[in-house]
Structure 1
Amino acid sequence: MKILMIKTIALGACMVLGACSSLPPQPYENTYTVENRYAQDVKSFPSIQGIASTAVPDAVIEHKNITYVRYGQRELQLDLYLPKALAQNPTATPAPGVILVHCGGWRSGYRTHLTPMAIELAKAGYVAATISYRLAPEAQYPAAVYDVKAAIRWLRTNAGQYGADPAHIAVGGASAGGQIASLTGMTNGLRRFDPQATHSNISSDAQVILNIDGLSDFTSAEARKHEDRPGKGASAAGSWFGGSYAEQRDLWHDASPTYYVGESSPPILFLNSTQERFHVGRDEMIGKMQVYGIPAKVVTLPDTPHTFWLYEPWIKPAAAVVVEFLDKQFNHPIQR
């Protein structure tokens, strides 16, 4: 597998554990809320029936605000959802775990965006965590990838306490989170993406990737058409990389999951809306995976907005697709 070796200076101080954020983040306006997205999306998609519920049903146990990693004074937290049947039965077979990475264009958003998905996965027998991670205003690329790997390691370390199977952990995300999740899984074992690896013998590898409408190649002409805007202010991607494609070409390449495909890459599900701009690089990436015989599945939900996972009537069918893929890849006994 050929890996792009970028200049050390390109990643700067972020390559040092915790250097990206040892202090609490500076306040900034984060208006990427479900309510704001709904107000925009319902204009173009009147079929939206409402915002997906975050109410926790009786069959699911919720553990909120768990700190999974610290960088100096900075704490990052997650919310954990697990089947009540699993939590109440200490002899139950451990369940596979899923780390979920929220949307928001790398510079905004909240982990609660994926709470409805996590609840659905827990109802289906999985241990699911929605995580907060360092956004671009606090720490630029690749800090978010460090954080997701730290979350995987946390779940693996604490698997026994919550009934998770440390040998079966998936990483998934939506939009920007889908790209981050793909990059996290595709860089299994690469220590430059996991500074904590030198301080722990617990693996941060993911066995399955769930990419929900996330980019696979920042360097393609189609992706740059939307994300590379020299002279027009920083785009979402440009904010994350700290510059345009011309200014930070190495980073735009380095963050593209498609360039890491190899014979040991995890299986991947692409769960997509009908908004094609968010699928850039997907087909090329699948072609590379087919060379190695690695499972890669595409499911497109018809007539959907980009952020379909936030709304009814799509959250349940979307979760059903995810559960079906996880069940097949893990081939693991699930207590339902």
Structure 2
Amino acid sequence: MVFAIIYYTFVLLFAGLTYASVEGRIPVVPRLQYLVVLGLSLISEWPLPVIVLKIVLINIASLLGVFRGIIPQLFYIVDLLNMIGLVVIFIDADEARRAIEQAIKSYSDQRELPSFTSETFWQRMVNPHFVPQNVFQYADIGYATHSEKSEATKNDFEQVNYLTLDVYARKDISRSTSKPVFMYIHGGEWIRGDKASPYPLIRHLAEVGWVVVSINYRLAPISFYPSQLIDAKRALRWVKQNIEHFGGDPKFIAVAGDDAGGQIAAVLALTPNKLEYQPGFENVDTSVKACVLINAITDLVGEQNSWISDYFSKKIAGRQTKDITFLREHSPLHLIKEDPVPFLVFHGDRDTSVPFKSSSIFVEEFKKNCKAEIQFIPIPGGHHVYNLFSSPRSHYQAIGVEQWLNHIHSEEGNGDYAWVSKEHDFSD
């Protein structure tokens, strides 16, 4: 009886998530919204492991005699239909492959992205926590000065633990020739998240020869914004001063982020050397060479993100009322200028947390006002945190980012991509 209740609960839960994943509609569940968003992305990115779990549960239920009677058999039929839906979701991931191949074909190295017939594709599906074996992680490196750490402890002693970063690099990296650097800023609505999140993008870029830095920053509401932006610039300062020791090139740094981390990354890229955001290190160059955004929050003011104005002003920035001037000053959409760095923008077309249209508007405004390159790649079937999971969709995106960054690196006068490792052939 107990297992029957567990089985029925799982059937209803996964059926609801599968339907919502396909339809791109999210149920409103107060206090559990983050878990619902995570569940939708899990279903859309890991459909095969979910199918395996369902087969195991069905076999156990059958052995225990759960399917005796009309109602249990109806649940069984719903479960079978659910698995068919999961197969459709799995096949849907191939749309992302075609979209990215089309987007990068003008500057790619003509590498074919892994398909259903690729060994690489199945390697990542069978092992959802896939981590390249030739990448080494230098963890928990502090990037703040002693005085900055002392200041951080005034709000909460543990805040100093967030002023750290990880460096990822190939174990066989040669330090005779500096490699370009990729600095990633995690998302989490400015209140959660961690640099150790298993983003496939981070590991892929390190595997093919980039030196990758993943940073933490102090979280709201213990540390109010713009502490998060200032911390990101402090991390960038550390990278410029120290990354050569890890084989990285401090003269070529690209910054990236998703969700709130995308907002921080974009503002960092669009406000180089702005003194008010780099207190105590005003003389440090905080410019970067490129910016990559994934499901990023680009407008804190507009109608597309109507919920966020009050949330950001009061909970994240600690202000008593909604401050439109302040919101505009920290909205990437309103910071676009004539000579920014190149941008690459991804957005899942089923994102229900950050509206897909907000990225479209950002790209349109960028093209109207800037001479710099910008590329927008919609991700078919992508939910809000699809990039967090080791799945075909996230790995297609990782290869797309790699190709675009190599293109920008070459455009900067750094020659071709000869420095990139060819040891791992992703096309198989």
- Normalised by the length of structure 2, the TM-score is 0.62
Which whole-Å CA distance do the structure 2 matches of 1:307 and 1:63 have between them?
Answer: 25
User: The residue matched to 2:235 in structure 1 has which SS?
Assistant: helix
User: The residue matched to 1:299 in structure 2 has which SS?
Assistant: strand
- Number of equivalences: 293
Find out whether 1:254 has 2:329 as its counterpart: yes
Alignment CA distance shift 1:304-1:66 (3 Å): same
Q: CA deviation at 1:280?
A: 5.0
Find out whether 1:218 has 2:295 as its counterpart: no
8 Å CA contact 2:348–2:379 kept in 1: the answer is yes
Aligned to 1:326: 405
Which whole-Å CA distance do the structure 1 matches of 2:129 and 2:227 have between them?
Answer: 28
8 Å CA contact 1:101–1:131 kept in 2: the answer is yes
Question: Which has the larger share of helix?
Answer: 2
Please tell me the root mean square deviation across aligned C-alpha atoms, in Å: 2.7
Larger Rg: 2
Alignment CA distance shift 1:271-1:203 (3 Å): same
Out of 119, 138, 153, the position equivalent to 1:63 is: 138
User: The residue matched to 1:204 in structure 2 has which SS?
Assistant: coil
Q: CA deviation at 1:53?
A: 5.0
Which whole-Å CA distance do the structure 2 matches of 1:251 and 1:112 have between them?
Answer: 31
Out of 278, 283, 287, the position equivalent to 1:205 is: 287
8 Å CA contact 1:114–1:310 kept in 2: the answer is yes
Alignment CA distance shift 1:96-1:46 (3 Å): closer
User: The residue matched to 2:230 in structure 1 has which SS?
Assistant: helix
- Output one character per residue of 1:284-333: Cα deviation in whole Å (capped at 9) or x when no partner: 43344333321010111211111011122322111111111111111144
Alignment CA distance shift 1:308-1:115 (3 Å): closer
8 Å CA contact 1:102–1:114 kept in 2: the answer is no
Out of 316, 325, 330, the position equivalent to 1:240 is: 316
User: Which amino acid counterpart does residue 68 of structure 1 have in structure 2?
Assistant: Y
User: Which amino acid counterpart does residue 261 of structure 1 have in structure 2?
Assistant: I
Which whole-Å CA distance do the structure 1 matches of 2:331 and 2:357 have between them?
Answer: 10
Q: How does 1:39-118 map to 2 (within 5 A)?
A: 39-42=39-42, 47=47, 56-70=131-145, 71=148, 72=150, 73=153, 74-75=160-161, 76-86=163-173, 89-91=174-176, 93-118=177-202
Q: How does 1:1-336 map to 2 (within 5 A)?
A: 38-42=38-42, 47=47, 56-70=131-145, 71=148, 72=150, 73=153, 74-75=160-161, 76-86=163-173, 89-91=174-176, 93-198=177-282, 201-224=283-306, 226-228=307-309, 235=311, 238-243=314-319, 247-275=322-350, 277-290=354-367, 291-311=369-389, 312-331=391-410, 332=414, 333=417, 334-336=419-421
8 Å CA contact 1:107–1:137 kept in 2: the answer is yes
Question: Which has the larger share of strand?
Answer: 1
User: Which amino acid counterpart does residue 137 of structure 2 have in structure 1?
Assistant: E
Aligned to 1:25: none
User: The residue matched to 1:69 in structure 2 has which SS?
Assistant: coil
8 Å CA contact 2:313–2:323 kept in 1: the answer is no
Q: CA deviation at 1:38?
A: 4.1
Specify every segment of 5 or more residues in structure 2 that has no aligned partner in the other structure, as ranges. Answer: 1-31, 51-124, 154-159, 422-428
User: Which amino acid counterpart does residue 366 of structure 2 have in structure 1?
Assistant: M
8 Å CA contact 2:339–2:371 kept in 1: the answer is no
Alignment CA distance shift 1:46-1:158 (3 Å): closer
User: The residue matched to 1:171 in structure 2 has which SS?
Assistant: strand
Q: CA deviation at 1:68?
A: 1.1
